[in-house]
Amino acid sequence: MAKDKRRRRGSAFKRPLLIGGLALFLAVDVALVGYAVLGQGDAPSSDAYTPVPVASASDDPSESDAGSTTPEPTAVAVAAPTTYLSAVDESVAYRVAAGTCSATSRPVLEKTDDGGSTWIASTSTTDLSSVFRLQAVDQSYAYMVGLGGTSCLPGLTATYTSGSGFQTYPDRVASAWFLDPANPAVVHAPGGNAAAPCATGAVLAPLDDLRAALLCDDGVIYRTANSGVVWDAGTIIEGASSLAATGNGYVVAGRQAEDCAGVAVVGLSASSAGAAPVAVGCAAETLAAEDTTGPIAIAATDESVWIQLGGTVTVSADGGRTF
């Protein structure tokens, strides 16, 4: 009888320990589940916006697709721009026709504040006659580089009032990038004239005082990081027809891309070291009514890409992904 009582007392003693252990297990389990849920909520989004995707060495198709055959991109003949386009953001941009140097012609600078729906035209009042570079600096300040005067020499005209007034600044010409279509084998950089990497340069896209990209008439794009002293070996992008500088590199407008019926947008890094072009987007539906064989003008900011084809302008607010 005494042994039976001791057995019952032992069972009663173990029961609270079992209940306590079970409660502790449940508490730990709930805490772990809560931590997992909160951890998922704080994880960085995979859709974080990058203005223009730039490839790294790991994106080299020779590494990832060693067993596949990639078609070589096709270059198309490129002519000097007939229209220059420069953007401030997704709403504001300037444009001007290239024109020719003559005693009677004056550039007509146009500005839009509504994404290209309407444009306000202002005729330059300086002696500048033709334009081969346009740069929008902010909403009210833009400048043009071209030829002017009786001798058709390079000059720079600027407006600080959105086109309501113009002033010529001959002292600024020396520090400006430009490509004169009449002398396409020479690129003028802030450090002076530099030999182009091809016989005929067509479209020049300056990134800063040292870096620029040049699209030649044979469709090859060259980049420099030292004001044109040295150019890289060149890159061919399918149907490249125009290019522009953006915050972290360049954007290229191309036609005849396999998966784009309109104008394809391709990102190109500022440096050619270990980086390949990256497909960004396609401006197709908004340009469907235009002749896709006509001249293309492209402009870019850190977040927006503008494309003009014929009389149609289309704008992307997400770096060229959608239009």
- Could you tell me if 75 and 218 lie in one domain? yes
- Could you tell me if 234 and 156 lie in one domain? no
Residue 59 lies in a domain: yes
pLDDT value of residue 75: 78
pLDDT band at residue 9 using 50, 70 and 90 as cut-offs:
very low
- Could you tell me if 172 and 236 lie in one domain? no
pLDDT value of residue 66: 44
Q: Give residue-wise pLDDT tens across range 93-116.
A: 999 999 999 988 999 999 999 999
- From CA 248, how far away is CA 267, in angstroms rounded? 10
Across residues 16-40, what is the average pLDDT? 40
Residue 3 lies in a domain: no
pLDDT value of residue 310: 82
- Could you tell me if 179 and 217 lie in one domain? no
Position 6 pLDDT exceeds 80: no
Residue 164 lies in a domain: yes
Higher-confidence residue of 7 and 90: namely: 90
Across residues 159-185, what is the average pLDDT? 97
Higher-confidence residue of 58 and 153: namely: 153
- Could you tell me if 316 and 215 lie in one domain? yes
Position 56 pLDDT exceeds 80: no
- Domain limits for position 99: 88-183
Across residues 9-35, what is the average pLDDT? 41
Domain edge (last residue) among 183, 199, 228: 183
Position 29 pLDDT exceeds 60: no
- Could you tell me if 310 and 275 lie in one domain? yes
Residue 32 lies in a domain: no
Degrees (nearest 5) of the Cα angle 151, 155, 156? 160
- Could you tell me if 317 and 216 lie in one domain? yes
Residue 154 lies in a domain: yes
pLDDT value of residue 265: 96
pLDDT band at residue 292 using 50, 70 and 90 as cut-offs:
low
In this structure, what are the phi and psi dihedrals at residue 254, rounded to the nearest 5 degrees?
Answer: -130, 155
- Could you tell me if 226 and 291 lie in one domain? yes
Position 164 pLDDT exceeds 80: yes
Which among 12-26, 31-45, 124-138 has the top mean pLDDT?
Answer: 124-138
pLDDT band at residue 291 using 50, 70 and 90 as cut-offs:
low
- Could you tell me if 260 and 153 lie in one domain? no
Q: Domain count for the chain, please give it.
A: 2
The 3-state DSSP class for residue 77 equals coil
- From CA 95, how far away is CA 106, in angstroms rounded? 14
User: Do 246 and 300 contact (CB within 8 A), yes or no?
Assistant: yes
Question: What is each CA distance from 216 to 54, 160, 200, 266, in whole angstroms?
Answer: 22, 32, 6, 17
Q: Give residue-wise pLDDT tens across range 61-88.
A: 444 444 445 567 777 789 999 999 999 9
Chain-centroid distance, C-alpha 34:
42
- Could you tell me if 76 and 92 lie in one domain? no
Where b means 16+ CB within 10 Å and e means fewer, 50-83 reads ebbbbbeeeeeeeeeeeeeeeeebebbebebbeb
Q: Give residue-wise pLDDT tens across range 189-248.
A: 998 999 999 999 999 999 999 999 999 999 999 999 999 999 999 999 989 999 999 988
Higher-confidence residue of 257 and 50: namely: 257
Helix count and strand count (H, E) for the chain: 2, 21
Q: How many CB atoms are located within 10 Å of the residue 134 CB?
A: 24
pLDDT value of residue 156: 99
| Residues whose CB falls within 8 Å of the CB of residue 2, separated by 6 or more in sequence, listed in order | none
pLDDT value of residue 257: 75
Residue 25 lies in a domain: no
Across residues 293-312, what is the average pLDDT? 91
pLDDT band at residue 16 using 50, 70 and 90 as cut-offs:
very low
Identify the bridge partners of residue 236 per DSSP, sorted by sequence position. Answer: 220
pLDDT value of residue 3: 45
Two tokens, residue 62: 């020779």
